[in-house]
């Protein structure tokens, strides 16, 4: 099945990458919801948070650690930022390749809509 984020990993679709290693990649969201809006994704296709298996725990943690490093690099860590994982339609997921949103550069409201 075609997957936009697998296409980015494979270099078949353009993206503005900010970080890459052997397990994950990170790039700017095409429709930013904040001054800084980065998506951190595994290279492996996993459809969403609910599809993460026990064996993916280190990978899932790595997504968070990488997001924190990017927040530092982009200068938003001191003021704070938000990390979001959306699951399924009610959760607001629109791309079914698991991705961690890193949002910052403005004050976030709570609770979410």
Catalytic residues: 99
Residue number, 18 or 76, with CB nearest to ligand AMP: 18
27: exposed, middle or buried (C-beta count within 10 Å: 0-12, 13-18, 19+)?
A: buried
Q: Cis check for the bond before 79: say yes or no (omega within 30 of 0).
A: no
* Min separation Cβ 102 and ligand AMP, Å: 11
Q: How far apart are CA 40 and CA 61, in angstroms?
A: 11
Cα separation, 75 vs 92, in Å, equals 27
CB of 63 to ligand AMP, least distance (A): 13
Please, which residue, 55 or 113, has the CB nearer to ligand AMP? 113
Cβ distance to Zn ion smaller for residue 9 or 71: 9
- Close Cβ partners of 88 (under 8 Å, ≥ 6 residues apart): 48, 50
Stretch that binds ligand AMP, among 24-32, 51-59, 67-75, 102-110 (CB under 6 A): 24-32
Residue 10's SS3 state is helix
Q: Which of residues 84-103 bind ligand AMP (CB under 6 A)?
A: 86, 92-95
In which element (H, E) is residue 65 found?
helix 57-73
Among ligand AMP, Zn ion, none, the one that 45 touches (CB under a kind-dependent 5 to 8 A) is Zn ion
Interface residue list for ligand AMP (CB under 6 A): 4, 13, 15, 29-31, 39, 86, 92-95
């Amino acid at each position: 099945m075609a997957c936009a984020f697998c296409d980015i990993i494979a270099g078949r679709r353009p993206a503005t990458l900010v970080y890459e290693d052997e397990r994950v990649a990170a790039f700017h969201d095409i429709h930013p919801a904040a001054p800084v809006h980065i998506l951190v994704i595994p290279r492996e296709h996993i459809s969403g948070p609910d599809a993460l298996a026990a064996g993916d725990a280190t990978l899932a943690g790595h997504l968070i650690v990488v997001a924190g490093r990017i927040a530092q690099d982009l200068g938003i860590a001191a003021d704070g930022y938000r990390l979001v994982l959306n699951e399924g339609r009610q959760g607001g997921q629109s791309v079914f390749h698991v991705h961690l949103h890193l949002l910052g550069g403005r004050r976030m409201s709570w609770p979410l809509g």
